[in-house]
Amino acid sequence: MPWHQSVVRENDADAVILLHGLWRSLWAMEPMAEFLHQNGYHTINVPYPSFRKPMEELSNLIHEAILLHGGKRKIHFVTHSLGGLLARRLLNILPAEQAGRIVMLAPPNQGSEIVDWASRYKSLACTLGPAGAALGSKTLDTPPLPAQVDSAVIMGKQSNIPFFRRLLDEDNDGIVSVERGRIEGMNEFHVMDTDHTFIASDPRVMEITLKFLREGKTD
């Protein structure tokens, strides 16, 4: 089906791989993909079965899409939530000369408190899928970012989902605590007044993302 295929917007410039989060689809990243394409990038918005396959298989599927649509371009990543953990794997697979910058939106880089809680209940754990279950604090097994990769993390602090608030730190986006987004070696860390669901389509987040991809900094 069309929504199972990557949406590619061609350009002669560097490529940006866009990766959605758990239980989402490529449509969640379409506003960002269109915005980056309008600003000169070759964009590849990749769908993947986030709740059906383990992390390694998802990484392989995305890697195939990169090889198919990215060519020999420099490869950057813009990711949402789970997508950030997959991109960390992919940046360690790509040739060093191709690995570009990454902007991670609301990533659970230190594991998810919600996954920790859900994993204690069999009925809830089944809804996570193998990749979701791997996002727990004790099950997270994702390589660090390569030292040469410029990285920015953007977290939200607007919590529009009250159900999970008791599981999270005071500053959170309804799904991920702000501090859980930090990762060793990151260049920049931003906290925005936006929520987990719509952070990728927030115009302010889009502008910061574009500036970081272009310059490797936003100051």
For residue 146, the model assigns a pLDDT of 95
pLDDT at 160: 85
Q: What pLDDT sits at residue 3?
A: 55
Could you tell me which of 99, 107, 96 has the C-alpha nearest to residue 20?
107
Residue 141: CB atoms within 10 A of its CB come to 10
Distance (Å, rounded) from C-alpha 7 to C-alpha 133? Answer: 28
pLDDT of residue 123: 82
Q: Can you name the residues that pair with 190 across neighbouring β-strands?
A: 154
Q: Looking at residue 13, what is its pLDDT?
A: 96
- Domains of the chain, earliest start first: 2-215 (3.40.50.1820)
- pLDDT averaged per 10 residues in sequence order, the chain, 219 residues: 82 97 95 98 97 95 97 97 98 96 98 94 88 94 94 96 89 97 97 97 98 95
pLDDT for 2:
54
Burial group, residue 100, by CB count within 10 angstroms (0-12, 13-18, 19+): buried
